[in-house]
Amino acid sequence: MLPVDDLGEPVPLPGPPNRVVSLVPSLTEALAEAVDPAVLIGATDYCTHPPDLDVARIGGSKYPKVDRVLALRPDLVVANSEENRPQDVERLRADGIPVWVTAAPATVPAALGSLRRLFGTAWDVEPGWLVEAERLWRDVTPPWARAVVPVWRKPWVVLGRDTFAGDVLLRLGVVNVFADHTERYPRPKLDELQDADIVVLPDEPYLFTKDNGPQFFPNLRPVHVSGRYLTWYGPSLVHARKSLETALRP
């Protein structure tokens, strides 16, 4: 029986993949640290980690240059159900390229479990950083603050229900005020974003800075955090908890 990805789709893998294209920045970093950077032959323009990664660039996550991916003839392409378009995945599969699609995780354990299954199935490896991240993020701090978490502006987009970043904050004792919203990434008006204790301002996907962000929330304490530590799941989670806790606490 063929292995299946997070969405239940079969992934024909005759052996451990040696030529991999990643369409997701966090998966690129995770694969490089879990397996070997040498297995990566292609990645998106936004795959910034490892910093010295020297591979073919295939465009963005949402709009990859599929022809470039096909030309690389990878053994496997790794993608994500939220970050990548189904039509691009379908085209790759139609050309005979195995694609492993990870689900958009709603919690830290779900994210790490997804990585564990991918690494175990494709390469039969259990990286030490994965075990350490599972240990570090097991505990949940009692709630001590309420936060609004913008991830974009023009228009304003915030974290809503069932997001990985929302669970990261919850495990640090910070409750996302939009956690019960019907949408995962709602677009409220600015005046709807003021009922909280703090505003968490990541530096990606939108680059909020000390001069671009806090002025829109005059009554909330601004907290600037690394977007990679807040939204990426992979080896960065080993350092993320301490960094985020330090930034969040007054």
Instruction: Please give the chain's pLDDT, 250 residues, in tens.
Output: 789 999 999 999 989 999 999 999 999 999 999 999 999 999 999 999 999 999 999 999 999 999 999 999 999 999 999 999 999 999 999 999 999 999 999 999 999 999 999 999 999 999 999 999 999 999 999 999 999 999 999 999 999 999 999 999 999 999 999 999 999 999 999 999 999 999 999 999 999 999 999 999 999 999 999 999 999 999 999 999 999 999 999 8
pLDDT score at 1 = 79
pLDDT score at 88 = 98
Both 99 and 189 in one domain: the answer is: no
Q: In the beta sheet, which residues pair with residue 212?
A: 209
Q: What is the CATH number of the domain that holds 193?
A: 3.40.50.1980
Task: Please give the residue range of the domain that contains residue 155.
Answer: 145-248
Both 149 and 240 in one domain: the answer is: yes
Domain end residue (candidates: 104, 128, 161): 104
pLDDT score at 51 = 95
Q: Does any domain span residue 26? A: yes
Domain end residue (candidates: 104, 137, 164): 104
Both 163 and 243 in one domain: the answer is: yes
Both 96 and 160 in one domain: the answer is: no
pLDDT score at 250 = 85
Domain count, the chain: 2
Both 95 and 181 in one domain: the answer is: no
pLDDT score at 21 = 98
Q: Does any domain span residue 238? A: yes
